[in-house]
Structures are given as C-alpha cells and as structure tokens.
Amino acid sequence: RGCRLVAENVFGAVAALESTLRQLFAHAGAANFQTLTLKDRPEYKVRGLMVDTGRRFIPKSVLFTHVIDGMALVRMNLLQLHLSDFCRFALELPSFPELRQNGFREGAYSQEDIREIVAYALDRGIRVLPEVDLPGHAAGLLPLRQRGLRFCEAAAGKKTRPEQATKIYDDTEGSSRQVIRQLLGETAEVFGPAASRWLHVGGDEASPTGACTAENIAGLEEFVVGTVVQKELGRTAVAWEELRFKDPDSEGFRSAGRTNDTIIMGWMRGTPWGIARRGHRVLAANLHQHYLDYSYVAHPPSNFWYDPSERRGSDAGSCAAPSWERRPGAFLGGLPDPKAAKLDLAAAQRRLSLAGMIWPRAAVSAATLWRYSPSVAAPAIDEYAQWLAAYLLDVSGVASCPPGCACDELTACGR
C-alpha cells in the first residue's frame, strides 16, 4: 500500500505531487483502481504564463492564489512578470524614486513583495522571469528623463497607440545607457539568481520614431543584450521577436548581442521554425493560440489545443525536417499572455476579471505544452476545460471563467 514517486529532480516531484497525483483523486476522493503505474514527462521544458503588470497592476495576494497556485496545479513552471509599460514601472527601486511620480496608474511591488513572490513560486516549482521592456513600451519610464534617460515621442496630435508612442533614445553622450545599466542591474538583483538566470528585455513594437531610427534602436538593443545582460549581469537575455527580425538580418543578429544564445519569443510573424532557423532557442507566444485577451467566443479553450511543432505561414514547407533538429532542444516551450485592461477595479472584480481571462484556457495551453495529442478533438477539450474550472476552484480556490460563460478583460457572464 502507498505510492512510490521517482523523478529526475525536485521540480518533477513537485509536478507529480501538486498536479498528477491530485488529478487522480480530484472530486471523488477515492481511486478507481488497485494498482497503477504512470510514466510521464513533458514534451517542452518551458510551460509559462505572462502577467502584464506594466498595464494592469495585480496585487500580490491575487498573484499567489489566482495565478501561481493555478499554475502549480497544471504543471506550469515559468511566470513572466511584464514590469514596465505605458502605465507604470511596477517595481519599487530605492535608487529610482522618480518612478513613483508617474501618477498615471498607481501600483508597484516592493522589493520584499518580489522576494516573497519568487519564494512562493519556487516552492511550487515555478521560476519568475522579470521583463523590463526596452526600447519601446517606455512611457512608464518617462519620469527618469530628469535622470538623463532620453526619449523619442510621437508628434503631438498624431494618433499613436500608447505602447508605441514613446521610445528610448540612444544618445551619443551615453546618458540613456548609464540609466538603463543601473535600472537593469538593480532589477536583476531584486529578483536574485533563485528566480531565473534569464532576464527579459522586451524589444517589441520598437518601430523608428523621430531620432530613434532603426540604426539607433539596434545600437541600444545591442548594448542592452550583449553588454549589460550577458557580460555584466551574466544572464541569458530573452526578447520578443522584433529584436531579432530586422532588415537586413545582420541588424537583427546585432540587436541580439551578436550571439545565438539570446532566447526569442515569437508572437506575431516569428514562428518557432523561423526563429530556430536563425539558430536561437524559441518560446512560443503566438497571438492566435496563446493570447488570453481575446473573448471566449473568439478563442474558446479548444483554440489553445494545437500542435506547437507544426509549421505555419511563411515557414510552411520551407524545410525538409524540423529546424530545431539542427540545435537539439531549441524549441523550449511557450507562454499564454493575458494583456491587461487599462482599468483599476475593486478587489473582487479584479480577481474574477483577471482569473476569468486566464483560467481554464491557460490550463489547456499548459496541457498542450506538456504533451499534445492530435487524437483529442476540440469538443473533448472544451468539456475538459469545464472540468478544469471546477478542479482549480475545488482544490486551491483558484477562480476561473464559469462553465457556459464568456469572460474577457471587462466582463464575465455578461456582467
């Protein structure tokens, strides 16, 4: 009588205990078997979730219960905190008190908050990846202008999305570089090596604006990735696809620190195949199969059940064999992404609106990245999602979009 568990490391044991074993006994509390042997391993190493606190601040208590606990139950192992965007820089750094003067949207984690989040996640087999988005998505850093950070801003009266309205300018005096070096260094120190040896530096939607030409942007990105993250901090840089996909391709290689060690996240035109062909490791965050800010009508749970290794778009038929066979383990995994609403909500509303966006659809994505099977059809996945919603609530009190409802950034079940 009893249970014997064998795993390659402590994180495998945590996944077996927190998820696999619990699911066997979920709801009924009794087993329908005398003996059972399970042999299971994930197809992809990284099964993550990105939370966009740079747009919509998520209190620590909500992160614990409705994000991290849910991730542990479905065997996710990477939490990406998108800390900076046009609403705020969501981390308090004593050396940068100006960042609390933004006033556009309040909300930031203290250094003690981050240490608690990192420890809470690590206890559940989840690493935390901080992201400081550069050189675009930079309006939350505007208060650092008085410290010497230089910017390019869209012309007054020009209709521009807020994510793209402000870029960091790489000035010839090196003033911007000095501020960025200190900002990234202190951010990495707060999260510590226990969180992740990776540091996400953004790079998305950084199209040229005024003096921030393509050449200027590439030079700043090369400094951030190659000099600061890799050489000075000794970390692996992670970036969105735009940092690597440039014309000519040599400019993209330059922006990636002139190395293939930079991990690239594909979200729009950068497919895993296209990225791996350039020699990089890949994280998939495809807009159509991973983004959670689409409504349940447009993207039901079954939308997140797909074959991540399948070639798509411009990469279809371009290779005789999978590109990542050239570099074993190049396709690391993926992350669903709940882009944030630009609203401040009461605590109860916040829990339901955030959790309803994430669960149970992100759990289906986690299952896809654990091991996809083409034999499981869409109706079975949508039925499985209803079971998952009840499972998350019953086991750990994790809120999710109720069965039969549609949830998005602003509504749940029509309210």
Determine the average pLDDT of the residues in 303-323: 60
Beta strands 198-202 and 331-334 are unpaired
User: Which of 36-40, 157-161, 201-205 comes out lowest in average pLDDT?
Assistant: 157-161
For the record, the structure tokens of 290 come out as: 């991973």
Give the pTM: 0.90
Collapsing DSSP states into helix, strand and coil, what is residue 125?
coil
DSSP state of 328: T
Collapsing DSSP states into helix, strand and coil, what is residue 413?
coil
Which backbone phi and psi does 85 adopt, to 5 degrees?
A: -165, -160
Beta strands 236-240 and 127-134 are unpaired
User: Which of 182-196, 294-308, 337-351 comes out lowest in average pLDDT?
Assistant: 337-351
Q: Within 13 Å and on the Cβ side, how many CA atoms surround 60? A: 15
pLDDT of residue 325: 34
6, 30, 36, 57, 385 from 33: Cα distances, Å: 20, 9, 7, 45, 24
- Hey, which of 7-16, 339-348, 362-371 has the most confident mean pLDDT? 362-371
Distance between CA atoms of residues 275 and 38, nearest Å: 35
Q: Within 13 Å and on the Cβ side, how many CA atoms surround 226? A: 16
For the record, the structure tokens of 291 come out as: 């983004």
Q: What is the DSSP string of 10-68?
A: HHHHHHIIIIIHHHHHTTT-S-S-S--------SSSEEEEEEETTTS---HHHIIIIII
pLDDT of residue 323: 30
24, 117, 291, 373 from 389: Cα distances, Å: 16, 24, 19, 21
Distance between CA atoms of residues 320 and 344, nearest Å: 50
CB atoms within 10 A of CB 24: 14
- Hey, which of 40-44, 144-148, 192-196, 318-322 has the most confident mean pLDDT? 144-148
* Residue 393 identity (one-letter amino acid): L
DSSP state of 102: -
| Cross-strand partners of 166 | 153
> At 105, is the pLDDT very low, low, confident or very high (cuts 50, 70, 90)?
low
Handedness of CA 325, 326, 332, 337 (dihedral sign): negative
Q: Peptide bond before 248: cis, by omega within 30 degrees of 0?
A: yes
Contact call for residues 334 and 76 (beta carbons, < 8 A): no
Q: Which helix (H) or strand (E) holds 332?
A: strand 331-334
In whole angstroms, what separates CA 323 from the centre of its chain? 24
Q: State percent of the chain over pLDDT 90.
A: 55
| Cross-strand partners of 129 | 80
> At 244, is the pLDDT very low, low, confident or very high (cuts 50, 70, 90)?
very high
* Residue 334 identity (one-letter amino acid): G
pLDDT of residue 87: 87
Collapsing DSSP states into helix, strand and coil, what is residue 264?
strand
